[in-house]
Structure 1
C-alpha cells in the first residue's frame, strides 16, 4: 500500500506557485500565436469556456418569446461590430480573422449549439482570453435579447434579407459633401430609415425631433450618459464633429405624427 508523505506533499504544493512564477518570469511559456495551442490545451480551454457558459447561463431569466420585432437594429449592430469576425450571409469572414487564436466561429453554422440563455450570457458578458468583447453596456438586456433573436434567424437567412435588415436603403450624399458625413448618416439610416421614422417597431422616430434634443442625445450615448450598446458605437464613430449635422438633418425631416413622434 502506497504511503503518502503529507509533509513533502505540503512543501511541494507550497513551492509550486513560486516555480510557476519563475517559469513565467524567465519566459518559459511561449505566448506566440504562430504555432497554435497544444491539442490538450485547446481542448481544456474550450471545455472550461463551455462549462462556464453552461453554469452561468442557469441564472439567466429567459423570456417566453424572443423579441423578433427587434431583429432589425440587432442586424445593424451585427453588421457594424460582429460580421467581420463571425461572417454574415454574403459576407465571409476576413482572412485575417482565420489566423486569430482562438479562431472566432462562423455563427451561421454554430449558433444552434447553444441555448437561448447561453447565447445571452456570451453576448452580454463576452468571453475572456478571446477577441469576444462584452456588450457595450450591461444595462440593456433588451438589446442583448434582440441580438439573440437575430442570431436565431441567422442560419436560415439569405443574403438579400440580411443586407436589407443590416443596411437598408442607400442615401445619396448631401450636396457638396464628400467627407465622412455620408458614412455617419448611412449608419443612422440603416436603422432609422431615410425618412427618419424608423425601420421597425423597436426603432424610435427621429424625424421632426428637436435639433437640440437630438444633439444632446448623441452626446449622451457617446459619453455614457444614456445606456445603449446599439447607439453608443455609431455615436462615438460619427464623432462630435458630425453630431450637429446629423441632428440638423433628422430634425428637418417631416413627420407624419404631430409633435414629432417618440424619443430616440
Structure 2
C-alpha cells in the first residue's frame, strides 16, 4: 500500500502542475481579452471627444471585423504618437528577441530539453513589424533622426543594465528580476503603450475628408464612419458632432492628407 501511494504521488504532482499551467494560460487569455476590450472602449471614447451620446452613435457603426483596422488606424492616425511608439517599441522588441536567443543558448549549455528552448516567433514577428513601420515612417516623412533615437534608447537600456548588473540590495534584486522577466515586461509595456495611445489619439481609424453639401457654402471636415446606400454617417472634425447625411445632399468628397 505504501508503495502504491508513493507511486501515485508523482502523477498527482504532474496533474497539479498541468492544472496550474492551464490556469496560468486561462489567466493570460483573460488579461489579453480584457486589454483588447479596454482598448476598443478607449478608442470609442477618444474619437468621440469623450462625449457619451456621440460614443453611443459611433458604436453602432462598428463591426467585429473592424478590430484590426481600429488597431492599425490608431498607430497610423497620429504621426507624433506613431513616432514615439516606434522609438520605444523597436528597442523593446529587439531586446525581447535577443533575450530569448540568450536564454535558449544557456539552456542548451545546461543540457536541458530542446522543448524548453522555444523560438520566440511572436517576438520576431513584432520586431519585423516594428522595423517595417520604422522604414515606412522614415521614407514617408523623411525623419532620418528616428532610427538614431531608437539607437539612443538601446544605448540607455544597455547602460542601465551594465550599471545595475553588479548592484546590491533591492536595486540588484530588481534588476535581476527584470532580466528574468524581460519578455513579460516587454509585452506589458507594449500593451500599456497601446492603451495610452487608444486614450489620447482623437483621430479615428479612417482618413479625414472634406465633404461639400448642397446649400452649404463651407464644406464639412470630418470622417465618414459608414457609407450605406442612401446616406453617410459622418463625424465632424472639431466638434465631434455625429451627422447622418443623405447621398443626394453630397456634392463631392475629397480626402484631406493630414496626419
User: What is the TM-score of this pair, normalised by structure 2?
Assistant: 0.22
Structure with max Cα Rg:
2
User: What is the TM-score of this pair, normalised by structure 1?
Assistant: 0.21
Greater length-normalized contact order (CA 8 Å, ≥ 6 residues apart): 2
The structure in which a higher percent of residues are helix is 2
